[in-house]
A and B are shown apart, each in its own frame.
Chain A
Amino acid sequence: MSDIAVSVEGVSKTYGGEQPVIALANVDAQFLRGTATAVMGPSGSGKSTLLHCAAGLDRPTAGRVRIGATDLSSMSEKALTKLRRNRIGFVFQAFNLVGALTVEQNILLPSRLSGNRPDRAWLAEVVDRVGLGDRLGHRPSELSGGQQQRVAIARALVTRPEVIFCDEPTGALDTQTAAEVLSLLRSVVDDAGQTVIMVTHDPVAASYADRVMVLADGRIVQDMPQPGAERIAEQLARLGRRQPVTSREG
C-alpha cells in the first residue's frame, strides 16, 4: 500500500456554457495517508470543484485523479459510485440529508445502499461523538443547521472510509460544536489513520490540519505545513489584499 491516499495530477475543470468558467487550472496535489489537509482560498477559487473532482463526484475536464492506486478517470458511473460508497466519505456544504429519512436512516444510508450490515457499536460511538444520541428518530427538518451538519459528518464516518472530504463542515456551527467536530475529524486521522481533506475559511479550523493548501483562481498558490492559526490568518489576509475577491458565495 502506497502512502498516497489521494493524488490529483494535472486536473483542470471548465464549466461549459456560453461563457466558460475555468474552475480548476492544471492542479497537481498529493494527499498522504493519515494526514489532514485544509484547503483554503477566496470564494469561487475552485475549492469545492477540487474536492468534487478528487472525490469522484464530478469528472475533471483534463487530468487524472487516483484514490490510493485506483485511477478514477476510466471508471464507469456505477463503479465510481461503489468506490465512493466504500472508500470515501463526503460532507457537503449544505443540503446533505434526505428529508424523507430519519437521522439514523440518513447515517446508515450508504450501508443500506451497499447492502452491508452496519457496525452497530461503531454507529453508537460515532453518534455519541457528534452528540446526536437523542436525535436518531428525528427528521432533518426538525434539526438546526449545525445538527444537520453533524448528521452528515456521522454519515461520512460510519463506513470508516479511507478518505473523508468535507466542504466547510463547520461553516454553520458555533465555536463549541465546531471544536468538537474538528477534534472528531482529527481523531479519526490520528487513531484510525484515515485521511481528511477539508475546505474551510476558518483559520482556527485549518489549524486542526497538518497541512494548508491555498487556492486562487483555480490554481494552488500556496502549500505549506500547518503553521498555526495566526500565521494562516496572516497569509490569507495577504492573499486577500493582493487579489480582491468578488462577492460570490463560496
Chain B
Amino acid sequence: MLGLAAQMLRFRKGTFVATFVALAAGVMILMTCGLLVESGLRYQGSPQRYAAAVAVVADRDRTIAGPEIFGETESTTVSLPEGGRVPETLVKAIAAVPGVASAVGDHSIAVTPVAAPGVPATGHGWGSAALAPYRMVSGTQPRTDGEVAVDARLAAGGKLQPGDATALVVGGTERKFRVSGVVDAVGPRAAVFFTDTQAARLDPNPGSFTAIGVLAAPGADKAAVVAAVRTAAVNAKTYVDGERGLVEQPEAVAARALTVQAGAAFGGYAAMIIIFVVAGTVGLSVRHRRRDLALLRAVAATPGQVRLMILGEVGLLSLLAAVVGVPAGLAATAWTRDQLVTRGFVPGTFELSGGLLSGLAVTVAVAVVALSSAWIAALRTTRIRPTEALGEAAVEPALGGKVRIVSGLVFLAGGVSLIGLTGATGGTTALGAATGMLYTFVLAVALLAPWINQAAAKLLTPVLRTVWGTSGYLAAANLRANARGMVAVLTALVLSVGFGGTVWFLQDNLQRQTVVQSHDGTLAQHALTGAAGLPATAAAKARKIPGVVAATGVRRTSVIIPNQLEAQAVAAQGIDPVGADQTLDLGVRSGSLTDLRASTVALSTTLADSAGWKLGDDARLWLGDGTPVTLRVVALYDRGWGFGDVTLDSETLTGHTATGLDDHVLIRTAPGADVTAGLTDLANAYPMSTVIGTDQLTGELAQDLAVSAWLNKMLIAVLVGYAVLAAANTLIMAALARARELSLLRLVGVTRGQVRRMVHAEQAGLLGVALVIGTAIAAITLSSVVHAVSGERIPYVPALGAAVILGGTIALALIATMLPIGRVLRTPPVQGIGLRE
C-alpha cells in the first residue's frame, strides 16, 4: 500500500501541497519552540568564577507547597527574584566538613565603574578568586581596603593600569580606589576585586554571602565531600557540576526560565492551532478524493487497505515535512536566539544545544496529529459505498453526526460559561481563562461549522440574490450544498480573525493599561533616576529642597505570593510612605496607604482576589530573597498594572534586595516654585543620576513594555500567519477542486463573468460569516479580559490594527480564491470536464 500511497502523492501533488505546507510550517514552528525549551533546559550558564569549586552552596529558590486539593498538595519551585543569601556562619560549618580544603564565601556587589560605565561589573572579595583560576596579568592583588584588582576587560574599557586611581559607584555612592592589579577573568560580567574585609563592608546585606564555594582537599572523594556538604548546609542548596553556572549567573536562571516558559507556552498554543489546521487540511484532501477512494473500494480494496493507503500518504508527507521543517526550525531558532540576545532577554552565553531530541519529538508529534486526523478522515471513507465511484459526481455527504453537533454545542456552552469565570477572576488567571475561552469558542465553531455554513447560506440567499442576481443565486446554492466542504475554510478564517484579534489587541490593552495607570497614578512632576541606584538619603535630600512638597523613594522588586493555585513571583514596589499620598495615587479602593509601615502591606485588588486576601487579613508572603514575612493588609488599590501588585514599606525590604537601593525618587513640587537649581544640585550629588519629568518615566516604562511585548507579538504574528496560511491553503485547494463543476457551469451556458461573480458572491458570504464570528469571539474574549484587568467593558482597539487584521483577512481570502479560479476559468471548459479532476 505504501507504494500506491507514494504514487498517489506524486500524481496529485496539488492536493497534497496544501497538507505538506501545513505540516512543514507546523514542524518548523514546533521545532523552534521545542529547541528553545531544550536549549533552555540544558542551559546552565557556565561555571567560570566557580570553576575550581567542587560544589557551590547557595539559596536561590523556594519550594512552596500549594493548597491541598483532593488530599494532594502540589508544590511549586520559584526562583528567588532577588537571589537568596547564605549566613556567614555556614562557611565555618562547611569548612569543618572532612575532605573540604576550604570554604570561601562570595559577595556579589553591584558596581558601576565611572571610568567605563558601559561595562557591567560585579564586585567580589579577593578570597573568592581562589574559586576560579584567575591569572594576574599585571600588578598584585588588593592588599589594602583602598585597592582593587580589576578585570582585564574593565582595564581595557577604562584604560586602567596598576597604580591608577579610579572611581567606582557602589551602593549609590562614588568611592575612590587605587588599581593594584589587572586579572584575566571570565564570565559575562566584568569582575572587580576588593579586599575581603572591604567586600564584606560594601555588601548591602552584611553578615551573609551570596554563595559559598567549596574547595576539596587533594585526593578527597568528591561524591563523599558533596554529600557531607549537603548535610552540613541543609537550609541551602548545594550545586555541583554544570549547575554551578546557574548560581554564578542569575541571568542564566532568568534566561532559562524565559526560554523554557516562552517555548512551552507558545508551543502549547501552536500545537492547538496546528492540530486544527492539519486536521482540516488532511480531512479536506481526503474529501476531495472521494471518488478515487470509492473506485479503489470498487476495484476491490478493503476499507482497511484504503485507510492504510491514506495513512501511508500522510505518513510520507509528515516525513517529507520533517525533512524540510526541522532544518527550517533550526534556522528559525537561531534567528530567534539572536533576537533574544540582541534585545537583552537572554545573555550572549545562551547557546542553542541539542535539537536531536526536539526534532524527533516534534516530528513524532506532528506525524501523530496528522496520522490521527487522517485516520479519522479515513474512517469516514469506510462508509463510502463503492458504487459512489460510479456516480457523475461524488454525493455530498450529510452534514455530520449527532456526536458532532452535541459536542459542538457542549463546547459553545463551555465557552459561554468561561465568560463568567473570566469576569470573576483577575490578572494572570484571567489571561489563562481568556485563552481557554478563545480555544473553546474556536473548537465549537470548528465542530458546528457545517450547520453554521448552512444556516448562513439560507440567511444570505436573498441578500446574495439581490446583489449579484443569477450569480448570487448560484452562489447561495453552492454555499448550501458545500456546507461541509467549507468547514476547514470557515474554521481557519475564524481562527485567524479571532485569535489575531484577541491576543494581539490583548497585548495592546495590557500595555496601555500599564502606561495609563502609571501616568494617572503619578502625582509627582519630577523623578530622580540613578543608573547605579540611589541610596535612601536621596529622598531625604530631595525633601529639603525649597519648593519640594514631597519626595518618595521607590524601590522595584518582586515578592513571592502563595496564590490559590500555585506560588508565583509578582512585581512589587517598596516606598517610603511619608508623604507618598502627595506623589502617588495608587487608586486606593479601601483602607489607607498612611497605615503602610514595616509590618503592613498594600495590595492590588486583582492580586488580593486571586490570593484570597481581604483588608485586615494577615498576608503570608516571601520577600525577594526568600525571607518569609507576615504582613497585615492595610490598603487595596486598583492600579496594580502601573505600579506592581504589592506595595511595601521600603523598611520591610531593607536587607532583602540585592542592591538595597532605590530605583528612583518621585518629587512633587509646589505649583509655581522654581526648583531647577535644587534639582540639578540633587542630581549632581548622586553619581550617574538625572532628574527627568515623570511623563518621561512613563514613556520609558512604555518602551520597556514594548520590548517585552515584542516577544509576545512575534509569537502571535507567527501563529496568526500560520492560521492565515492555512486559510489560504484551504481556499486554494477548494478553488482548484472545483475545476470540473465550473467547467460544467460554463458548458451549460453560464458565462465566465457570471462564474466569476458567483465565486465573488460565495466569497462575500463565507468571509462575511467568518469575520462576524471571528470578530464576535475576539470581542467577547477581549472585553472579558480587559474587564477583569481594568474594570472597563470596552477594550481598546487601535484602528490601524483592526484594519490590518480585517483587511488582511479579506485580501488574503480574495487572492487565495480569485487567482486559482482565474486559472481554472482560463482552461477551456471541455478540457475541464474531462476525467482529470
Given contacts A90-B298, A100-B8, contact A95 B303 (CB under 8 A): no
Given contacts A52-B387, A58-B387, A140-B835, contact A98 B292 (CB under 8 A): yes
- B240 CB–A CB distance under 8 Å: no
A185-224, CB < 8 A from B: none
B49-84, CB < 8 A from A: none
Give complex CA distance A112, B301 in Å.
9
Given contacts A81-B297, A92-B298, contact A57 B387 (CB under 8 A): yes
Nearest-neighbour CB distance to chain B for A90, whole angstroms, equals 7
Closest to A114 in B: B300
- A150 CB–B CB distance under 8 Å: no
A81 touches B11 (CB 8 A): no
A100 touches B302 (CB 8 A): no
Number of interface residues of A (CB under 8 A): 32
Inter-chain contacts of B10 with A (CB < 8 A): 100
- B382 CB–A CB distance under 8 Å: yes
Q: B282-303 toward A: CB 8 Å interface, digit per residue (1/0)?
A: 0000000001100111111111
- B12 CB–A CB distance under 8 Å: yes
Give complex CA distance A110, B299 in Å.
6
- A43 CB–B CB distance under 8 Å: no
B298, B302, B385, B389: which contacts A82 (Cβ < 8 A)? Answer: B302
A82, A96, A99, A113: which contacts B836 (Cβ < 8 A)? Answer: A99
Inter-chain contacts of A78 with B (CB < 8 A): 302-304
Inter-chain contacts of A112 with B (CB < 8 A): 4
Given contacts A52-B387, A94-B390, contact A101 B302 (CB under 8 A): no
B292 touches A85 (CB 8 A): no
B390 touches A141 (CB 8 A): no
B382, B385, B837: which contacts A99 (Cβ < 8 A)? Answer: B837
Closest to B7 in A: A100
B386 touches A58 (CB 8 A): yes
- A84 CB–B CB distance under 8 Å: yes
A85 touches B390 (CB 8 A): no
**Most chain A CB within a 10 A radius of its CB, from B296, B298, B299, B302:** B299
Inter-chain contacts of B8 with A (CB < 8 A): 100
Give complex CA distance A52, B385 in Å.
11
Nearest-neighbour CB distance to chain A for B182, whole angstroms, equals 74
B390 touches A48 (CB 8 A): yes
Nearest-neighbour CB distance to chain A for B28, whole angstroms, equals 29
Closest to B394 in A: A95
Give complex CA distance A110, B298 in Å.
10
Nearest-neighbour CB distance to chain B for A195, whole angstroms, equals 18
A138-153, CB < 8 A from B: 140-141, 148
Give complex CA distance A58, B185 in Å.
83
B373-409, CB < 8 A from A: 382, 385-387, 389-390
Q: B1-35 toward A: CB 8 Å interface, digit per residue (1/0)?
A: 00010011011100000000000000000000000
- A155 CB–B CB distance under 8 Å: yes
Inter-chain contacts of B219 with A (CB < 8 A): none
- A14 CB–B CB distance under 8 Å: no
Inter-chain contacts of A101 with B (CB < 8 A): 7, 11
Given contacts A77-B382, A95-B291, A100-B12, contact A148 B835 (CB under 8 A): yes
A81 touches B302 (CB 8 A): yes
Nearest-neighbour CB distance to chain B for A246, whole angstroms, equals 17
Given contacts A100-B7, A101-B7, contact A113 B301 (CB under 8 A): yes
B298 touches A99 (CB 8 A): no
Q: A144-176 toward B: CB 8 Å interface, digit per residue (1/0)?
A: 000010000001000000000001000000000
- A109 CB–B CB distance under 8 Å: yes
**Most chain A CB within a 10 A radius of its CB, from B295, B303, B382:** B295
A58, A81, A85: which contacts B303 (Cβ < 8 A)? Answer: A81
Closest to A102 in B: B7
B299, B385, B836: which contacts A109 (Cβ < 8 A)? Answer: B299
Closest to B296 in A: A98
Nearest-neighbour CB distance to chain A for B454, whole angstroms, equals 16
- B305 CB–A CB distance under 8 Å: yes
B299 touches A141 (CB 8 A): no
**Most chain A CB within a 10 A radius of its CB, from B7, B295, B301, B302:** B302
Give complex CA distance A141, B833 in Å.
12
A99 touches B304 (CB 8 A): no
**Most chain A CB within a 10 A radius of its CB, from B292, B296, B835, B837:** B835
Give complex CA distance A141, B11 in Å.
12
Give complex CA distance A99, B7 in Å.
10
- A226 CB–B CB distance under 8 Å: no
- B798 CB–A CB distance under 8 Å: no
Q: A52-96 toward B: CB 8 Å interface, digit per residue (1/0)?
A: 100001100000000000000000011001101100001011111
Inter-chain contacts of B218 with A (CB < 8 A): none
- B834 CB–A CB distance under 8 Å: yes
Inter-chain contacts of B303 with A (CB < 8 A): 77-78, 81
Given contacts A94-B390, A95-B295, A98-B292, contact A113 B305 (CB under 8 A): yes
Given contacts A57-B387, A99-B11, A99-B292, contact A113 B299 (CB under 8 A): yes
Closest to A57 in B: B386
B295 touches A96 (CB 8 A): yes
Nearest-neighbour CB distance to chain A for B400, whole angstroms, equals 17
Give complex CA distance A110, B295 in Å.
11
Q: B801-837 toward A: CB 8 Å interface, digit per residue (1/0)?
A: 0000000000000000000000000000000001111
A105-132, CB < 8 A from B: 105, 109-110, 112-114
Closest to A112 in B: B4
Give complex CA distance A35, B709 in Å.
81
Inter-chain contacts of A97 with B (CB < 8 A): 295, 835
Give complex CA distance A113, B304 in Å.
11
B300 touches A85 (CB 8 A): yes
Inter-chain contacts of B298 with A (CB < 8 A): 57, 90, 92
Give complex CA distance A100, B5 in Å.
10
Inter-chain contacts of B386 with A (CB < 8 A): 57-58
Given contacts A81-B297, A84-B300, contact A141 B836 (CB under 8 A): yes
Q: B143-159 toward A: CB 8 Å interface, digit per residue (1/0)?
A: 00000000000000000
Give complex CA distance A105, B297 in Å.
16
Inter-chain contacts of B299 with A (CB < 8 A): 90, 98, 109-110, 113, 155
Nearest-neighbour CB distance to chain B for A182, whole angstroms, equals 21
Give complex CA distance A90, B291 in Å.
16
Nearest-neighbour CB distance to chain A for B252, whole angstroms, equals 55
Give complex CA distance A148, B7 in Å.
20
A sample of 10 inter-chain contacts (CB < 8 A) reads A57-B387, A58-B387, A78-B303, A82-B300, A92-B298, A99-B292, A100-B292, A109-B300, A141-B836, A167-B390
- Top 6 nearest A-B pairs (CB, nearest first) are A100-B11, A85-B300, A81-B302, A78-B302, A57-B386, A84-B300
Not counting A81-B301, A99-B12, a sample of 20 additional A-B residue pairs whose C-beta atoms are within 8 angstroms of each other reads A57-B298, A57-B385, A77-B302, A77-B382, A78-B303, A78-B304, A81-B302, A81-B303, A82-B300, A92-B389, A95-B295, A95-B835, A96-B295, A99-B835, A100-B7, A109-B299, A109-B300, A112-B4, A113-B299, A167-B390
